[in-house]
Structure 1
Amino acid sequence: MLSASSYRKFVRGRNRPVWEEDPNPAGLVVKALVLVAIVAAVLFPLYTIVLTSLSSQADVTRAGGLVTVPGTLSLAAYEQILSGGIVTRATLVSIGVTTVGTLLSTVVSVLAAYGMSRPGSLWHRPILFVFLITMFFGAGMIPTYLLVSNLGLIDSYWSLILPTAISAFNVLILRSFFMGIDREILDAARVDGASDWLVLGRIVLPMSKAAVAVVALFYGVGYWNAFFNAMLYINDNAKWPLQLVLRSYVLQGVTLPGSGTGQVDVDDGAVTGLPVKMAVLVLAVIPVLLVYPFVQRHFTKGVILGAIKG
């Protein structure tokens, strides 16, 4: 006969959900194959893009398009697009807009979220309601364009930052995270005479590094990948960000003046067409790939903990 403790263990084992059961060898093999297939589906397109950008024009012609088998590798495409002209300027514009925009958006979002997370703050509930409304209703493209135009921001880099400087979703993530901080810690700091600025800088922010890092990543990727605002508000090609140059050259096949991507003599060893397009694409993807690993360890923690309380 089973003892009482053994019987309880037996009953708990029978009532456990399927996903809590220990996987069998066949299940482990299937999971491994599925994960390998997913990784291959993600990495193979990136591999072909990078390899094509490093290939010679002869290899691209021989492959009839994207190169999958390495041949003669060369940095000629990168030297061509970075030798000056609009691609280089567009890269610097994107770096500047992303840096300034991410810093501004993160600072303002932290201040707004902290203010709305304090129960005694002035009008925090009406302001929170306004933030929630903006998540479901927008003014539209034409009113926004008229506002940017009336503010004199046409052909200004600020037109790439200010219209999208605040995301209500990111503010709510930070607010939820701040509200999850133990109230006793904040009250103890105020008893010791700490002001709200000191509480925010010395206590709240150090305890919220994960959430702030995730929100900064969201803003940074958004600014780096944005092209629609530039298409609306920037008329000067010299002020275009990299993503708009990428769209115009790679998707529409437009060769921009001073881009260093015009037709050249292949016999001189230069590359044209597809390798240059792929080089511009790689140049647009690399910064996100370099930054993401440093923030990835905070990503899951920041999003999950910021969504616990609201």
Structure 2
Amino acid sequence: MLETRSERITGIGIYILLGVVTLIVLYPLFFVLIASVSHPGSVIRGEVWLWPKGFSLVGYERLFGNKELLRGFMNTVMYTVAGTALNVVMTVAGAYPLSRTDFKGRHFFTFLIVFTMFFGGGMIPTYLLIKSLGLLNTFWAMIIPSAVSVWNILIMRTFFQSSIPKEVQEAAFIDGCSNIKILLKVVLPLSGPVLAVMVLFYAVGHWNAYFSALLYLSDRDLYPMQLFLREILVQNQMQEMVDISDDTLARSLMDAEAIKYAAVIVTNLPMLILYPFLQKYFVKGVMVGAIKG
């Protein structure tokens, strides 16, 4: 169909608007990147805008020379891998029974699960529960309290109901498969998109998590990387990464500025690399249950 003049003008206006919004969103990321490889003095003086000035990797050198940050990075990787694995297993275990029409009482259990989305005990009762379970200052304090998300259970349940034909499961049952075998041999192999979405959701959540560590961890050997990043960006605790010697205070401040930008890049880079590979699944996950028939 031929476009009218008004439609072409509208289309051009939409593209221009989207381009401006894209630049607004991407420029802060680009600025952090070029600032992390620029001379700290140029960054502080506001001379860095569109390209690096005075190429310098002092921020990365100080960052990777700090043993606490490296240990925090490894802790974050372990929390993310172990937590995501547990999350996916628990979500599948909760979503599959609720998707089965032959499961008596599934509406009641769905109501009980959804009820927890509207009402919670709060921070202090949750802290007391974690303490009474003996999870304070342990690896599991970062894993067990967030073992499952009700919202993600509902997303996966909807996918099972709307995207996997009931007849396929019935045929497998007639062939002698148990419910566990149907789940492992039929349902999960057909659920690649929603599983990828769950991995992305949970992994990003674990990677960015710092508040649970702030509440439940006091041993710095267990700190995730995000807590150290918080110290850098919010509390400016640079004593262990910046050598405050007989040099001027300005030099120390410049080093701190370089470390700040380098830390932002290092902490966000893994998720930025992961997202493009799962982007198509992410879009499918958003559309899960939107259309039936």
Partner of 1:280: 263
Q: Could you tell me which of 108, 126, 146 is aligned with 2:90?
A: 108
1:239 equivalent to 2:207? Answer no
1:82 equivalent to 2:68? Answer no
**Displacement, 1:84?**
3.3
Instruction: Tell me, in whole angstroms, the C-alpha distance in 2 between the residues paired with 1:262 and 1:151.
Output: 41
SS at match of 2:255: coil
Q: Could you tell me which of 153, 170, 190 is aligned with 2:135?
A: 153
The amino acid across from 1:26 in the alignment is I
Give the TM-score taking structure 2 as reference length.
Answer: 0.90
Instruction: Tell me, in whole angstroms, the C-alpha distance in 1 between the residues paired with 2:59 and 2:19.
Output: 31
**Displacement, 1:122?**
5.4
Instruction: Tell me, in whole angstroms, the C-alpha distance in 1 between the residues paired with 2:146 and 2:199.
Output: 14
Instruction: Tell me, in whole angstroms, the C-alpha distance in 2 between the residues paired with 1:122 and 1:261.
Output: 62
Aligned length: 287
Partner of 1:16: none
The amino acid across from 1:297 in the alignment is K
Instruction: Tell me, in whole angstroms, the C-alpha distance in 2 between the residues paired with 1:306 and 1:104.
Output: 24
- What value does the CA root-mean-square deviation take over the aligned residues? 2.4
Partner of 1:144: 126
1:219 equivalent to 2:202? Answer yes
Partner of 1:124: 106
Partner of 1:173: 155
Instruction: Tell me, in whole angstroms, the C-alpha distance in 2 between the residues paired with 1:97 and 1:128.
Output: 29
SS at match of 2:29: helix
**Displacement, 1:249?**
1.4
1:42 equivalent to 2:25? Answer yes
Partner of 1:10: none
**Displacement, 1:60?**
2.3
SS at match of 1:272: helix
Q: Could you tell me which of 166, 174, 181 is aligned with 1:198?
A: 181
* Larger gyration radius, structure 1 or structure 2: 1
Q: 1:277 to 1:269 in 2, by over 3 A?
A: closer
After superposition, give the CA deviation of every residue in 1:128-163 in whole Å (9 maximum; x if it has no partner): 111100111111111110111011111112111111
Instruction: Tell me, in whole angstroms, the C-alpha distance in 2 between the residues paired with 1:23 and 1:96.
Output: 55
**Displacement, 1:196?**
1.5
SS at match of 1:70: coil
**Displacement, 1:25?**
2.1
The amino acid across from 1:158 in the alignment is W
The amino acid across from 2:156 in the alignment is L
CA contact under 8 A between 1:174 and 1:306: conserved in structure 2?
no
CA contact under 8 A between 1:153 and 1:159: conserved in structure 2?
yes
After superposition, give the CA deviation of every residue in 1:174-209 in whole Å (9 maximum; x if it has no partner): 011111121111100111111212211221112211
Give the TM-score taking structure 1 as reference length.
Answer: 0.85
Partner of 2:211: 228
Identity of aligned residues (%): 36
Structure 1 regions of 5+ residues with no counterpart? Answer: 1-19
Partner of 1:58: 41
Q: Could you tell me which of 223, 229, 237 is aligned with 1:254?
A: 237
Q: 1:22 to 1:306 in 2, by over 3 A?
A: farther
Instruction: Tell me, in whole angstroms, the C-alpha distance in 2 between the residues paired with 1:205 and 1:218.
Output: 18
Instruction: Tell me, in whole angstroms, the C-alpha distance in 2 between the residues paired with 1:256 and 1:304.
Output: 48
After superposition, give the CA deviation of every residue in 1:22-60 in whole Å (9 maximum; x if it has no partner): 972212221111111011011110111111111122322
Partner of 2:286: 303
Partner of 1:91: 73
The amino acid across from 1:229 in the alignment is S
After superposition, give the CA deviation of every residue in 1:84-123 in whole Å (9 maximum; x if it has no partner): 3211111111111011100110111011100111122354
Q: 1:102 to 1:23 in 2, by over 3 A?
A: farther
Q: 1:113 to 1:308 in 2, by over 3 A?
A: farther
Instruction: Tell me, in whole angstroms, the C-alpha distance in 1 between the residues paired with 2:39 and 2:112.
Output: 55
